[in-house]
Amino acid sequence: NGEITKGMVLPLSLSVDHRIVDGGEVARFLNRLMSYLEDPISLIME
Protein backbone atom coordinates (compact mmCIF):
# COMPACT_ATOMS: atom_id res chain seq x y z
CA ASN A 1 0.00 0.00 0.00
CA GLY A 2 3.00 2.28 -0.26
CA GLU A 3 3.40 2.46 3.52
CA ILE A 4 6.73 2.38 5.28
CA THR A 5 6.77 -0.22 8.04
CA LYS A 6 9.26 -1.16 10.70
CA GLY A 7 10.86 -4.60 10.48
CA MET A 8 13.63 -6.61 12.07
CA VAL A 9 16.64 -7.07 9.79
CA LEU A 10 20.06 -8.53 10.49
CA PRO A 11 22.37 -8.51 7.48
CA LEU A 12 24.64 -11.58 7.46
CA SER A 13 27.57 -12.35 5.24
CA LEU A 14 30.17 -15.07 5.19
CA SER A 15 33.45 -15.20 3.31
CA VAL A 16 34.87 -18.60 2.46
CA ASP A 17 37.63 -19.96 0.30
CA HIS A 18 35.78 -21.93 -2.39
CA ARG A 19 38.92 -23.95 -3.03
CA ILE A 20 38.38 -25.51 0.41
CA VAL A 21 34.64 -25.21 1.15
CA ASP A 22 31.85 -26.11 -1.27
CA GLY A 23 29.32 -23.32 -1.87
CA GLY A 24 26.41 -25.70 -1.24
CA GLU A 25 27.69 -26.46 2.26
CA VAL A 26 27.97 -22.75 2.98
CA ALA A 27 24.40 -22.16 1.78
CA ARG A 28 23.10 -24.97 4.01
CA PHE A 29 25.04 -23.55 6.97
CA LEU A 30 23.62 -20.06 6.46
CA ASN A 31 20.09 -21.45 6.07
CA ARG A 32 20.46 -23.40 9.32
CA LEU A 33 21.91 -20.36 11.08
CA MET A 34 19.02 -18.24 9.83
CA SER A 35 16.47 -20.77 11.11
CA TYR A 36 18.14 -20.75 14.56
CA LEU A 37 18.12 -16.95 14.68
CA GLU A 38 14.43 -16.87 13.70
CA ASP A 39 13.51 -19.53 16.29
CA PRO A 40 16.20 -19.82 19.01
CA ILE A 41 14.17 -22.40 20.98
CA SER A 42 14.75 -24.88 18.13
CA LEU A 43 18.49 -24.70 18.87
CA ILE A 44 17.88 -25.90 22.42
CA MET A 45 15.40 -28.58 21.39
CA GLU A 46 17.69 -30.31 18.86
By annotation, the residues acting in catalysis are 18
5 in Cβ contact with 21 (< 8 Å): no
User: At residue 29, what are phi and psi to the nearest 5 degrees?
Assistant: -60, -50
Q: Where are the alpha helices (DSSP H) in the chain?
A: 23-38, 40-45
